[in-house]
Structure 1
Amino acid sequence: MLPKLGLVCITTTDAVRFRTVTRKRLLQHSEIEQQNILKEIYLHNLKRLNNCWDFCTERQIRLYRLSSELFPFADTPAGENILNELSEQLQQTGSRAIELGIRVVVHPDQFVVLSSDKLEVIKNSIKILETHALIMDKLTLPRSPWAIMEIHGGKSDRSERLINIIQQLPEGIRNRLALENDEYAYSASEILDVCKAASIPMVFDAHHHIIHEKLDSYDDPSVSEMLKAARTTWPVSDWQLVHISNGRESFNDRQHSDFITTMPSCYIDAPWIEIEAKLKEQAIDKLKQEWLPSDAGEPVLVKC
């Protein structure tokens, strides 16, 4: 089975783009006007999300990462009221993705830090996750790692706290939650241990791994080893999802490049890959042409 490559949030063109509003602009209006503004944005973004399903289907993209800003201020009473009002449209939109065979995931923003030393930060993080879980429920997406909410470990050296918080999360969050290794705070092996202890999947990011370990190649044996180890955390191995990006200025640059020009050889065995490149669908098209096996069945691996 060939890897399925995933689109992250938007496209380079305006084919998949969403509207938002700043807090400053929103607060310039009365409460009634604020609700009208948010409802207009939510309806617009729902329509664009349906267009996204068409875009992905036409390009045979079977994995899509929802924008964490799809419904701005959804964590407020006004936002939640509008989501409830639009329940039928949300259900239809999510059901359509399922019917088209598009897997939908989300990566909540950097403010989600479940391992924080501050109780208020943890409470706010859980509130953000509750809002994403509500949206995924209304989109009729399953409460399973098929529709994951992927986050980072947060504060370093807080593994025990992170595990305890995860185990206490509401079912709608916990059953979708996955942890990703990062460049600095949590190595791949550390996140693997947390995921095993908390009984949640691990999203392996090869680029974060090579930065954290100061490696000079994606074909370092540890990359393949971590890919295989992370797979054991998934309840269904064929659901395993990984990330890939390349450094913009150098191999170990944390800033993402426009295209993916170097892939780990072992990623040919990864079932699902989110492509974290600046040029989005163009990067996916390039990988399909230059990296995935050709018609003759010969894998073409691009190397720098």
Structure 2
Amino acid sequence: MNLGYACINMGLSRDTPRITTNRGMIKKTFLEKGIEYAGKLALENSTDLIKILEWNVKNKIKFFRISSDVFPWASEYKIQDLPEYNTIKKKLGECGNYAKQNGIRLTAHPGPFNVLVSPNEKVVNNTIIDLNIHGEFFDLMDLKRSTYNKINIHCNGVYGDKISAMDRFCRNFKNLSNSVKSRLTVENDDKETMYSVKDLMYIHNKIGIPIVFDYHHHKFCSGGLSEKDALKLAYSTWPKNIKPIVHYSESKAVHEKNNKIRPQAHSDYIKKLPDTYGCDVDIMVESKAKELAILPFI
């Protein structure tokens, strides 16, 4: 079992100079400075990625979710058109090699605007563009085209009929690049009206992609299954030769004893690790304190 954290190293991001992979800019700045500035930021982000990976190895952390912001405004250009493309490609290749040599599992979790279930063609097209960028990014690091290096999303919408929505997901899945299709996973939601693990089995049975079980989300959208049964069901969807991934977080409202906070909101830290019921999994801890939340458990 490996514990991981997502995207930002809190300690390194506070260093001077700061070490981060999510340098970005507002749209106005992008329109003014163009791909030259986007390339500069992408190179700085790529350069810092290996520094974060080195810190992780030094601190015995072998699981990390990469930020989706390494390439600012990437949907507005082709990555290979960046002036620094060759240098960026070399840097990312070094990151991928370092990860493989040190047994680091790298994943991504594109944002909620990625909606393969949408009935809106423009939304779906934008989703395909963004997911394909993630696939290209992972290919630049020469990561495995498998769910070992997963690209994980939610359905992000019901539109009145879950089955019709999931059918659209499956149809639109076929239009993704192979670099995405080979890595894509889908995760259960934290609203009762959305998708439980039990619901997502419909997608798995149609196109075979694995389900990522989120413990915290399951509390709000169980589909009538116990935590143990939902975990076991999601676990069963993964290929036998790839260790499944689960997500774990705790409620900020409970931690702070404040019922004005949404119970779904994630706490800064965790008090314990989840019961894996005998399943061998890698655990992505989605706490606001990032690496600081998992260091006591390493």
Q: Shared topology, TM-score over 0.5?
A: yes
Query: Residue type matched to 1:74 in 2?
Result: A
Which stretch shows the higher mean deviation, 247-256 or 142-151? 247-256
**2:7 partner amino acid:** C
In the alignment, the residues of structure 1 paired with residue 289 and residue 270 of structure 2 have an alpha-carbon distance, to the nearest angstrom, of: 9
CA distance in 1: counterparts of 2:36 and 2:106, whole angstroms: 28
Match of 1:272 in 2: 282
Q: Distance in 2 between matches of 1:75 and 1:168?
A: 17
In structure 2, how many angstroms separate the alpha carbons of the residues matched to 1:245 and 1:72?
28
Q: RMSD value over aligned CA atoms?
A: 2.1
Cα distance in structure 1, aligned partners of 2:201 and 2:56: 31
Q: Shift of residue 226 of structure 1?
A: 1.3
Segment drifting more, 204-213 vs 258-267 = 258-267
Q: CA deviation at 1:214?
A: 9.8
Give the deviation of 1:45 after TM superposition.
0.8
SS in 1 for 2:227: helix
Who is 2:176 aligned against?
169
Q: Check the 8 A contact 1:5/1:275 in 2, yes or no.
A: yes
Unaligned 5+ segments in structure 1 are 216-220, 289-304
Distance verdict in 2 for CA 1:214–1:195, change over 3 Å: closer
| TM-score where L is the length of structure 1 | 0.85
Displacement after TM superposition at 1:250 (Å): 2.7
Partner of 1:50: 50
Q: How many residues align?
A: 277
Is the Cα contact below 8 Å between 2:148 and 2:243 reproduced in 1?
A: yes
Measured in 1, the distance between the counterparts of 2:222 and 2:196 equals 8
- TM-score computed with the length of structure 2 as normaliser: 0.86
* More off after superposition, 180-189 vs 82-91: 82-91
Instruction: Show structure 2 runs of 5+ residues with no match.
Output: 14-18, 256-261
**8 A contact 1:153–1:191 mirrored in 2:** no
CA deviations 1:96-127 (Å, max 9, x no partner) are 21111111100011110000010111111000
Give the direction of change, closer, same or farther, for the CA distance of 1:130–1:104 in structure 2 (3 Å limit): same
Runs of 4+ in structure 1 displaced over 6 angstroms? none
2:31 to 21, 27, 30: 27
Percent identity, aligned pairs only, is 29
Give the structure 1 partner of residue 248 of structure 2: 244
The answer to whether the aligner puts 1:284 opposite 2:294 as a matched pair is yes
Partner of 2:186: 179
Query: 1:291 — aligned with what?
Result: none
Contact 2:153 2:187 in 1 (8 A): yes
Partner SS state of residue 250, structure 1: helix
Aligned to 2:259: none
Alignment check: 8 A CA contact 1:241 1:270 kept? no
* 1:254 corresponding residue in structure 2: 264
- Is the Cα–Cα contact under 8 Å of residues 147 and 242 in structure 2 kept in the other structure? no
Residue 226 to residue 35, structure 1, CA distance change in 2 (3 Å): same
The aligned counterpart of 2:207 is 198
- Per mean C-alpha deviation after superposition, the further-off stretch among 9-18 and 177-186 is 9-18
